[in-house]
A = this chain, B = another copy of it.
Amino acid sequence: MSPRILDEQSLRDREQLIIDVAIALIESLGVENLTMDKVIAKVPFSKGTVYKHFIGKEDLVLAISNYAINILADLFWRAAQFEGCARERMLLLNFSYLIYAVLYPALFQTVICGKSPNVYGKSSEKRLQEQEQLEFKLLGAIHGIVEDALANKSLTLPENMDIQQICFANWSMAYGTISLLSGETEQCSGRTALVVERELFNQNNLLFDGLKWSPLAQEKEYSTALKTALAKVFTKELKSLHEKGRDLNF
């Protein structure tokens, strides 16, 4: 009368397997050519089983996006914990975002896709809530750094702005820069092309100087400080970048 054979853990494993297969497909074909049939063909389960996990293609894409955000959250966390002044850590955090975008282009691409109405309009409520949760976690890392800065007086809130707004300012700055510039890796010309890491560095300085977040750019060599911090916190990631022939240059 009660033949329950479902195992919570193996369900998770299976879901992750499907996600992994889908990511591999995205890496080789691009998100635009991802189809459920292709995923199902590469997975040891049938269509019905896959559709038990994801209500549709878009839901799968959003699941991948969530997985990707999780990875990013880990990077943010590590950056936030670096021992250094707050402004320095925030710069590091923003660069971890960039590292992520360069290192996992397929994931970054998928996250962008997840922002498309095309996708979130057809996803399950559960998955959407999960996304919200994860983004909250991301902002949490940023929030922590700003609080530290306020606590030690290196930063004071401008009139008419609260912490949340400072966090948002930082987030949207990094988001705008990276999403507009990332992906344009191979500029063919020799002219003054926009290099994403340089622009990101500039914009950090501009925004933080605008906030009068001390030490100001002219008072501290953030360039070298950032290099040190990156080498310490993101050793492995920098190595991966190097192997990709994509050393950061700012």
Which residues of chain A have a CB within 8 Å of any CB of chain B? 30-33, 58, 109, 112-113, 115-119, 121-122, 158, 160-162, 164-165, 168-169, 171-177, 179-181, 192, 194, 199, 202-203, 205-211
Contact = CB atoms under 8 A, between A and B. Distances in A.
18 contacts: A31-B118, A113-B118, A118-B118, A158-B206, A160-B202, A164-B192, A165-B194, A165-B199, A168-B180, A168-B181, A168-B199, A169-B206, A172-B177, A172-B203, A174-B176, A205-B210, A207-B210, A210-B211
Contact of A116 (B118, B172, B194, B210): B118
B32 A203 contact: no
Contact of A210 (B162, B174, B208): B208
Given A164-B194, A206-B211, A210-B210, A117 B30 contact: yes
Given A164-B192, A206-B207, A207-B210, 18 more contacts: A31-B118, A32-B117, A32-B119, A32-B122, A109-B117, A112-B117, A116-B116, A158-B206, A168-B199, A169-B202, A171-B176, A171-B180, A172-B177, A172-B180, A172-B203, A174-B176, A175-B180, A209-B210
Contacts of A194: 164-165, 168
Given A207-B206, A210-B208, A30 B121 contact: yes
A117 B162 CA distance: 36
Contact of A192 (B162, B210, B211): B162
A121 B202 CA distance: 31
B32 A169 contact: no
Contacts of A211: 206, 210
Nearest to A110: B117
A112 B119 CA distance: 12
A103 to B, nearest CB: 17
A172 to B, nearest CB: 3
Contacts of A109: 117
Contacts of A199: 165, 168-169, 172
A89 B209 CA distance: 22
A160 B198 CA distance: 10
A208 B209 CA distance: 10
A172 B196 CA distance: 12
Contact of A173 (B113, B162, B173): B173
